[in-house]
Amino acid sequence: MARWFLGVIAGALILAIIFSAPAQNVMMVWLVMNLIMLIDMILLQGKNRKKFQSAKMTQCSFCAELIQKQAKICKHCKEAVAQ
């Protein structure tokens, strides 16, 4: 809920800047806004990748490498994995 509220506030702030800025500054505001969104998307992609990986992977108890949860034999050390 807090992230949603923060997003609405940030959007309103950006719109206020665009509408109050002279026409020559609108392009600069647009570029800065897109740069901020790019950084946010990169950060979220890293978080989502870790979450997805932890949902599908587990750690081998013998060699500590990540393997798929459905694996019966570790592809790194070739030991049988306890299910």
SS3 80: strand
Residue 82 belongs to some domain of the structure = no
SS3 33: helix
Residue 14 belongs to some domain of the structure = yes
What would the mean pLDDT of 16-25 be, rounded to a whole number? 72
Query: What percentage of the chain reaches a pLDDT higher than 90?
Result: 7
CA distance 54 to 50: 6
Give the chain's domain count: 1
Q: What is the pTM (predicted TM-score) of this model?
A: 0.40
Quote the mean pLDDT of the chain: 80
Residue 20, CA distances (Å) to 12, 25, 39, 67, 74 in order: 12, 10, 25, 54, 61
Residue 12 belongs to some domain of the structure = yes
DSSP state of 21: S
| Domain that residue 50 falls in | 2-56
Per-residue pLDDT tens digits for 51-67 = 776 778 888 888 988 88
Contact 60, 47 (CB under 8 A): no
